[in-house]
Amino acid sequence: MQDEIRILFTRRKIVGSWLIRAITWSRWSHVEIIVGKSVLGADAPEGVALVPLSERISIAENACIMTIPCDSKAAISWAWRNIGKPYDWWGILGLGLHHDWEDESKWWCSEFVGKALQKGGALPYRPETIKRLTPEHLWMMNFPVETVK
């Protein structure tokens, strides 16, 4: 079933957010899947968790929502099965080391969202050429965007 999924892009006024944006050349430091009034994603140090959407927006300096056509049931079903998995610290530390992002035992925010989109039939990257999926890679997808903050 082809419908859509919404993802939240955010950035904060903290050093970690600035460093991620600087290293990845991105406007954004974080991305998550919107599920109802919550977001589901991988965040340091907790790992994959469900957090109120209002909480994420309240701590953000800027926030946008992108709507992507895909099988949302398949994408969100896969994402739910990953709740509790640890944060992928090598995802950040290994950016320049061509770390294999498809290690499904741990997740960094954009690799988690990218894999969920893949499970929903939306392939936002060329897996044979990109080993590191960053918030900027997802942001470059040409889908409708709504500014929230």
Q: Regarding predicted confidence, which is higher, 124 or 149?
A: 149
Q: Which pLDDT does position 56 carry in this prediction?
A: 96
How many Å is the Cα radius of gyration of the chain? 14
Q: Which pLDDT does position 6 carry in this prediction?
A: 97
Q: Which pLDDT does position 37 carry in this prediction?
A: 97
The DSSP secondary structure of 34-73, one letter per residue, reads: EETTEEEEEETTTEEEEEEHHHHHHH-SEEEEEEEEE-HH
User: Could you report the per-residue pLDDT of 49-95, keeping only the tens digit for each?
Assistant: 999 999 999 999 999 999 999 999 999 999 999 999 999 887 666 66
Is the pLDDT at 2 greater than 70, yes or no? no
Number of helices (H), then strands (E), in the chain: 6, 6
pLDDT > 90 in the chain, percent: 64
Q: Regarding predicted confidence, which is higher, 62 or 110?
A: 62
At which residue do the structure tokens 């035992």 appear? 105
Q: Residue ranges per domain, the chain? A: 3-147
Is the pLDDT at 11 greater than 60, yes or no? yes
CATH classification number, 3-147, choose in 3.90.1720.10, 3.40.50.300, 1.10.10.10, 3.40.250.10: 3.90.1720.10
Q: Which pLDDT does position 133 carry in this prediction?
A: 80
Q: Which pLDDT does position 82 carry in this prediction?
A: 97
- Mean pLDDT over 26-32 rounds to 95
Q: State the pTM of this model.
A: 0.90
